[in-house]
Amino acid sequence: MDTTVTMPKRLVVVLLDSLNRHLLGAYGSDEFETPNLDAFAASSVVFDNNYAGSLPCIPARHDLLCGALDFLWKPWGSIELWERPITYQLRKAGVVTKLVTDHPHLFEAGGENYHTDFAAWDYQRGHETDPWKTRPYDSSIGAPHHSGLHFAYDFSRSWLKEEEEFPGPKTMAAAAQWIDDSSSTHDRFFLLVDEFDPHEPFDTPEPYASMYDPGWEGPHLIWPPYAAAAIESGVLTPEQARQVRACYGAKLTMIDHWFGRLLAAIDRNGLADDTAVVVCTDHGHYLGEHDAFGKPAIPLYEPMSHTPLFVRWPGVGPRRVGALTTTVDLYATIADIFGVKASHRVHGASLIPLITGKATSVRDWALAGIWGREITILDGQRKYVRAPADANAPISIWSNRWSTMPIPALPDVRLPDPDARAVLDRMPGSTIPVLRQPLQAGDLLPFWAARTFTGNHLWHVASDPAESEDRAGGRDEAEMVDLLHEALRVVEAPVDHLERLGIS
């Protein structure tokens, strides 16, 4: 293929939250209708071996916007004092940056400064935990929640009357409007559409709501439980499990329709010749795979960690790439497109050599995980999940912006303040002092880290994508332990992890 492809002047990144790779037509599924995503993939470079890095929502956005793995140092949090997001570097280089989003976590404690270095940002209100309304609409009801707790969406949903008023459609429409109104006036721009759909609540109007489970009677189950062994333990009946999955499919099909509106705006404004368009996600969402629903505290199976990635690049025809890639590589790619460099330590590799065909690989391994849980390493063929050897300790939180995932329905559930054990230390690649809080067995840990573990796991995911044969304990495990040890050394991970995982 031609490797002298011209660098695009403009970039549109569409991040669809909780977008399940295995439910998209481009990856072989016909369960739900996604015609626009499928058509886009058919004109794009499709990455077959892309994986999440830091999970869940805000850590993944740190990977994307800061280019540095987050989960080895902290559970959830803002951009730190020693970091400059890609938007800061782009602004210095004269690139216009625009954020269009309905993602509520970007405007809560722990996520509140990811938007501030964009030249402009547009927040469409009303999704999930967004505290948008103080009361329900007079003549409507909200959306029932399985836990019995009050969620902000219970009020917000009652104000949504038409499809166009739902947060996802509003976000896509706003992004398309910005392209119509402003794209022609900017020689170089980076547009990030951070769309919270198809994340729960899986709430849609008709005809989507009944599209995939037409025989269901009663309120739709738009709030999935976060549960392992969900059917086995009785959290869901098989009928309820089918309904939850159908509601996800309804949300997926609805946002696919509005994604098509965004693509139409790009095309009618003549941007295709010099604009790269990326479709990605932060992670997947269990919908019955391994009898799990939501994002429970279990190993990172393929539905959660193996993520879709499509890149439509000017001058490059559609094809598939099998090289191992991960979220921090998108940061490096954005920096490469616009010719900027990071001012802090980063962990990604530009995907441009893969897109243009100049290279067949850009990395030998990738790390993935949630702070305080197992650490996962991939080599392109195998996935190894290493759990704590005994107690989930020692471990430290490194952050000058002490935070964890907020739960608005449970406002008193939060991390304790740093205590007398905290010390000042240094992050890799930085001279700025950072607060390091050591934690030991018995300390209160963030949400996922406080759950139990199932031991070490090793799957040959290239030949066993269903992860049906666990090969932990065999010869491969020793090789993967060595690779994990080396990867943690390369990224200068806290030595706590080596001790708690029993590989020091």
**pLDDT at res. 141:** 61
CA of 367: how far to CAs of 47, 71, 355, 383, in Å? 17, 10, 22, 10
Encoding tokens for residue 361?
Answer: 């690989």
Note whether 82 and 346 are within 8 A (CB): no
What's residue 293's pLDDT? 98
Using one digit for the tens of pLDDT, what is the confidence trace for 16-58? 999 999 999 999 999 999 999 999 999 999 999 999 999 999 9
SS3 47: strand
Q: Are 70 and 347 in contact (CB under 8 A)?
A: no
Q: Alpha-carbon distance 303 to 290, whole Å? A: 9
Longest CA–CA span in the chain (Å) reads: 65
Nearest-10 crossing angle of helices 238-268, 167-182: 10
- Token readout for 492 is 């200068």
DSSP 3-state assignment of 169? helix
Residues of the chain where predicted confidence (pLDDT) is lower than 50:
1-2
pLDDT value at position 1?
Answer: 43
Domains along the sequence of the chain with CATH: 10-364 (3.40.720.10), 367-501 (no CATH)
Q: How many CB atoms lie within 10 A of CB 150?
A: 12
Backbone Cα Rg of the chain:
22
d(CA 430, CA 99): 28
- Residue 455 neighbours by CB under 8 Å, 6+ apart: 387, 472
Across 22-109, the runs of DSSP E, i.e. the strands, are 45-51, 54-55, 96-101
The residues facing 55 across adjacent strands are: 370
- Smallest Cα–Cα separation from 369: which of 54, 66, 51? 54
Alpha-helical runs (H) found in 48-164: 57-66, 86-92, 152-156
**140 with 180: CB under 8 angstroms?**
no
Quote the CA–CA distance of 380 and 363 in Å, as a whole number: 9
Nearest to 461, CA basis, from 48, 47, 17? 48
Burial of 193 (0-12, 13-18, 19+ CB in 10 A): buried
Are 176 and 264 within 8 A, CB to CB? yes
d(CA 438, CA 424) in angstroms, rounded, equals 11
Please answer whether residues 242 and 224 qualify as being in contact, where contact means their C-beta atoms are separated by less than 8 angstroms: no
Helices (H), 106-237: 152-156, 167-182
What is the structure's pLDDT at 448? 84
Contact 308, 281 (CB under 8 A): yes
DSSP helix/strand/coil, 371: coil
Residue the block writes with tokens 């890149």: 311
Give me 44's structure tokens. 């794009």
The per-residue pLDDT for range 434-456, each reduced to its tens digit, is 999 999 888 888 878 888 999 99
Q: How far is CA 446 from CA 74, 387, 480, in A?
A: 10, 17, 28
Strands 395-398 and 433-439, by their bridges, are antiparallel
* Angle ∠(310,316,317) on CA atoms, nearest 5: 75
* Beta-sheet pairing, 189-195 with 96-101: parallel
Cα–Cα distance, 40 to 290 (Å, whole number): 30
In 3D space, the residue among 386, 196, 219, 405 whose CA is nearest the CA of residue 300 turns out to be 386
Q: Which residue has the tokens 């995980």?
A: 369
Amino acid at 347: H
Contact 5, 18 (CB under 8 A): no
Separation CA 471–CA 133 (nearest Å)? 51
- Residue in this structure with the two tokens 């976590």, named with its chain if needed: 105
Q: Six-digit token pair at 257? A: 């329709």
Half-sphere exposure of 119 (CA within 13 A, CB side): 17
